[in-house]
């Protein structure tokens, strides 16, 4: 199957990684031996974010224990956790002068608590070194472990984000080692047990889903009482990944946003290049202002 050509509205101008802001972010990441999902997942917004002196930190290594067919993160046996990483993330945030930080991770099914305690340590260190920073965590599903989720709730992240990624029918080809109902239960459990935490999820389009399936998924997300939903266009990282089955037009993104609002979703961030942390701080403050 030939790969579909990228539409012009999805193309980003070539940006220099040598400008002062990009260099500063990269130097700080090297100084503290940190990874970002911006690099690991080949995010199209990387240069824009780095130029604003921000990044989405990727903790618990650079390799994942799962094999999602859309993801560019390396999939192999992971390294031992770096016990210095939580403090180093906090120090990097302080040095960058961030007011809003997004922390994500690879999936670590090899660890007893699936890495939940490492998230807790990271939140603790950020609060210790930069107490005024708002913290959004984008987590794996922790295999649906309520014990792991309860541990994270104790450390009170401002935003708990876990991505649904796609509609249920697409899971067998896109997320072979994940489960749609488990992901929904994670989001529902967080809201039920910590109502003051803003919950969030994200999806991709272009994997073969249809509008009826998307609307049903939006309704499921609403029923899980999720506050914020992001939706963006899937772009295959390489020829080895799932191919794009459709590029959605700008008008179609507008229509999908209307569909989400019909399902009852109040805070929808839908755009071709929207990713999980796209407009993260802006949307969080909108939710806070209205509640």
CA distance 95 to 19: 18
**pLDDT for res 56:** 83
Single out the residue of 187, 169, 199 nearest to residue 267, CA to CA: 199
Residue 36 pLDDT level (bands cut at 50, 70, 90): confident
**pLDDT for res 277:** 85
Which of 154-163, 188-197, 276-285 shows the lowest per-residue confidence on average (mean pLDDT)? Answer: 276-285
CA distance 154 to 255: 39
Averaged pLDDT score across all residues of the chain: 89
Domain ranges within the chain, ordered by starting residue:
15-289
* Residue 124 pLDDT greater than 70, yes or no: yes
**pLDDT for res 1:** 47
CATH number of 15-289: 3.20.20.70
pLDDT tens per residue, range 249-259 = 999 999 999 99
* Residue 54 pLDDT greater than 70, yes or no: no
Which 3 state secondary structure label does DSSP give 93? helix
Q: What is the mean pLDDT of residues 264-271?
A: 96
**pLDDT for res 268:** 96
* Residue 198 pLDDT greater than 80, yes or no: yes
Q: Is the pTM of this model over 0.95?
A: no
Q: Give the 3-state DSSP-derived string for 98-127, with helices as H, strands as E and coil as C.
A: CCEEEEEECCCCCCCCCCHHHHHHHHHHHH
Hey, how many other C-beta atoms are within 10 angstroms of the C-beta on 152? 22
**pLDDT for res 23:** 76
* Residue 28 pLDDT greater than 90, yes or no: no
CA dist 249 → 190, 204, 210 (Å): 34, 14, 14
Residue 122 pLDDT level (bands cut at 50, 70, 90): very high
Residue 160 pLDDT level (bands cut at 50, 70, 90): very high
**pLDDT for res 126:** 97
Question: Which residue stretches of the chain are H helix?
Answer: 20-31, 37-40, 46-51, 85-96, 116-129, 146-154, 171-174, 180-193, 211-223, 250-262, 280-289
Residue 263 pLDDT level (bands cut at 50, 70, 90): very high
* Residue 3 pLDDT greater than 70, yes or no: no
Enumerate residues 6+ apart whose C-beta is below 8 A from 236. Answer: 3, 70, 242, 243, 244
């Amino acid at each position: 199957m030939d790969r579909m050509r990228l539409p012009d509205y999805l193309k980003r101008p070539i940006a220099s990684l040598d400008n002062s802001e990009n260099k500063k972010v990269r130097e700080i990441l090297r100084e503290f031996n940190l990874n970002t999902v911006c690099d690991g997942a080949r995010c199209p917004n990387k240069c824009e974010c780095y130029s604003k002196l921000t990044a989405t930190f990727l903790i618990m290594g650079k390799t994942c224990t799962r094999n999602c067919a859309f993801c560019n993160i390396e999939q192999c046996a992971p390294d031992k956790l770096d016990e210095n990483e939580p403090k180093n993330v906090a120090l990097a945030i302080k040095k960058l002068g961030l007011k809003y930080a997004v922390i994500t991770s690879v999936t670590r099914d090899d660890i007893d608590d699936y890495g939940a305690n490492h998230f807790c340590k990271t939140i603790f260190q950020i609060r210790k070194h930069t107490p005024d920073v708002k913290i959004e965590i984008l987590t794996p599903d922790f295999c649906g472990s309520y014990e792991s989720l309860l541990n994270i709730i104790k450390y009170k992240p401002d935003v708990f984000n876990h991505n649904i990624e796609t509609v249920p029918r697409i899971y067998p080809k896109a997320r072979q080692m994940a489960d749609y109902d488990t992901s929904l239960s994670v989001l529902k459990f967080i809201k039920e047990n910590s109502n003051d935490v803003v919950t969030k999820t994200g999806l991709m389009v272009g994997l073969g889903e249809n509008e009826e399936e998307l609307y049903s998924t939006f309704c499921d997300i609403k029923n899980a009482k999720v506050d914020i939903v992001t939706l963006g266009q899937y772009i295959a990282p390489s020829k080895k990944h799932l191919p794009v089955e459709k590029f959605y037009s700008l008008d179609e993104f507008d229509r999908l946003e209307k569909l989400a609002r019909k399902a009852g979703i109040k805070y929808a961030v839908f755009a071709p290049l929207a990713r999980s942390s796209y407009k993260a701080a802006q949307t969080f403050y909108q939710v806070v202002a209205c509640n």
